Every structure is written in C-alpha cells, then in structure tokens.
C-alpha cells in the first residue's frame, strides 16, 4: 500500500515513514499542503496521513479543496489539538478518522490494516473506505430505531432521515452479532445522498475500533464469521430474527466452501 504523509515537522514525518515502511508499505513524505496536492495527483496514493496544523495553507484548507473532496483516497487527519470540535470539523470535511498527537501507533496500525482491504478493490469505482452490508438495528435517543445499510470501523450508513441536516451530531447504540455488549457511540452526519445518510464515528476508543475492524474484516473474507452471522440472524442472537438475512450469509459462507454453512442451507431447504 502506498501512503502519502503530509507533516510539517520533518523529524516526525521520518518517524511516520519508518513506521509505515516497517509495515511493508511505501511512504511518500511532504511538508506542505501544496506539495500534497501535487503528489496526490502524481503518485495516486492509497491513503493520506494529513497534519491539520500545516503552516500557510492548512490541512483543513486541503480537506476543503475540490481535489480532496472528490478523491476516493482515504484521508486520516492528525493534530496536536485534541478538541472534539476540530475532530468533528475534519470528519465533516471527509476525513475517515481523526487522531490526536502523539499519534497512537497501534491505532494507526489497525487503521492501515483495515484500509489495506481498500487497495484490493480493483474493479470499478472505489469507495473511500470499504464497508460491509449488514442490516443491524441502531437506537437513536433510546427510542427511535434505524436500520443500518452498511457499516465500517469509521461510520455507518442509514436510510435517509428527512429532519437531519449534515453536521448533526447524534448518539447511537447498536449491538453487533458477536456476543459482546452493545456499543454506544457518538456520530456526526457527514453526507446525505440518494441511498441514505452517512455518519462518521467520533472518539472511538481503541477497543471499540478494534472490535469494529475485526467484525468488518471477518465479513469480507472469513467464511466462519459469515456463518456465525447467519446463525445470529436465524436464531435472533443479538439481531432481529430474519430468515432471508440468515440465508444470505449462509450462502456467502457456503460459496467459500464451509461445510457447516452448506449443511445449514440444506436443513433450511428441507424445512420449507
């Protein structure tokens, strides 16, 4: 994976570069937003680590640029200012995540490992981040229930809510079908389109982020994870019971050769 690092402090930039190369990724280091714009066009990186506090043309100004906003490249914002209002601003402008300095390298390692899936999507247009289609239920304000269209460690997409405007911040609760306690997260509405409303998560801790990474990665490639999700939907464990969803996940697991899923499909077929 090729990463563009935009960091005003050259010494810190070299630390990032060494860390990224130790992960067997390619690193390109620049110190200004103007240089970042040129390299984004010339190098076609797979992700960008962006210092928000750049002198002159700031990282926020770069995020606001048409080039950045129309790019499908994931941008990770970092700043010495850990204020939530700055994190919200970066997420609203399209950053997939916000990390306060000193950057937690284990979090960055997990983030890059998940984004690496992104580089494998070679057919057709790419999303800024890979997401999985999983119709989990979310609770808003303890009473209004929404259904997710898809999910990533960075956010969730739900059907359009006419009364919400971009920039709205909400508290969401949802249970993953992994047998663990429900998650309670803060999220900001960053985009509305014809398919629905996309929320970015704010201030996830490392355990919450790692849990979402493991869940989403499992559903993109792990046939046993798909089988377990089929079981969750068939028997209503952590999610609403839904036979059609159970069949869909069993079929995906069976297509990858899992005998348990093939047998479950056969059993469900015999029950009809």
d(CA 73, CA 76): 10
- pTM value? 0.71
> Is pLDDT above 80 for 28?
yes
- Which fold would CATH assign to domain 2-120? Rossmann fold (3.40.50)
Average pLDDT of the segment spanning 97-110:
90
pLDDT for res 116: 78
d(CA 155, CA 98): 12
Per the CB < 8 A criterion, the answer to whether 19 and 107 are in contact is no
pLDDT band at 220 (very low <50, low <70, confident <90, very high): low
Per the CB < 8 A criterion, the answer to whether 97 and 128 are in contact is no
d(CA 92, CA 38): 23
User: For the chain, what are the domain ranges?
Assistant: 2-120, 137-204, 222-271
Q: Give the residue, 255 or 27, on which the prediction is more confident.
A: 27
Cβ neighbors of 202 (< 8 A, separation 6 or more) are 84, 87, 88, 91, 98, 169, 185, 186, 187, 188
pLDDT for res 194: 79
Q: pLDDT tens for residues 111-159?
A: 888 887 656 554 444 555 667 777 777 887 656 778 888 888 899 998 8
Q: Give the residue, 217 or 7, on which the prediction is more confident.
A: 7
Q: Which whole-number Å values give the CA distances from 113 to 19, 36, 155, 242, in the listed order?
A: 13, 23, 17, 32
d(CA 107, CA 114): 11
């Amino acid at each position: 994976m090729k990463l563009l690092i935009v960091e005003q402090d050259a010494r810190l930039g070299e630390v990032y570069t060494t860390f990224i190369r130790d992960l067997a990724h390619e690193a390109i280091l620049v110190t200004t937003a103007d240089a970042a714009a040129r390299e984004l066009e010339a190098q076609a990186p797979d992700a960008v680590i962006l210092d928000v506090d750049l002198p002159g043309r700031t990282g926020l100004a770069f995020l606001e640029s048409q080039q950045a906003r129309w790019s499908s490249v994931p941008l990770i914002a970092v700043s010495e200012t850990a204020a939530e209002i700055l994190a919200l601003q970066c997420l609203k402008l399209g950053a997939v995540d916000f990390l306060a300095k000193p950057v937690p390298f284990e979090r960055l390692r997990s983030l890059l490992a998940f984004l690496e899936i992104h580089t494998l999507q070679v057919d057709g247009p790419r999303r800024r981040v890979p997401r999985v289609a999983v119709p989990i239920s979310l609770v808003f304000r303890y009473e209004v229930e929404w259904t997710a269209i898809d999910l990533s460690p960075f956010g969730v997409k739900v059907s359009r809510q006419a009364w919400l405007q971009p920039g709205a911040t909400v508290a969401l609760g949802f249970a993953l079908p992994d047998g663990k306690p429900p998650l309670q997260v803060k999220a900001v509405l960053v985009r509305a389109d014809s398919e629905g409303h996309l929320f970015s998560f704010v201030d996830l801790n490392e355990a919450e982020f790692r849990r979402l990474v493991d869940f989403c990665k499992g559903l993109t490639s792990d046939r046993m994870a798909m089988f377990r999700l089929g079981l969750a939907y068939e028997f209503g464990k952590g999610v609403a019971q839904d036979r059609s969803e159970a069949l869909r996940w069993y079929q995906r697991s069976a297509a990858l050769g899992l005998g348990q899923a093939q047998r479950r499909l056969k059993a469900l077929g015999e029950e009809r």
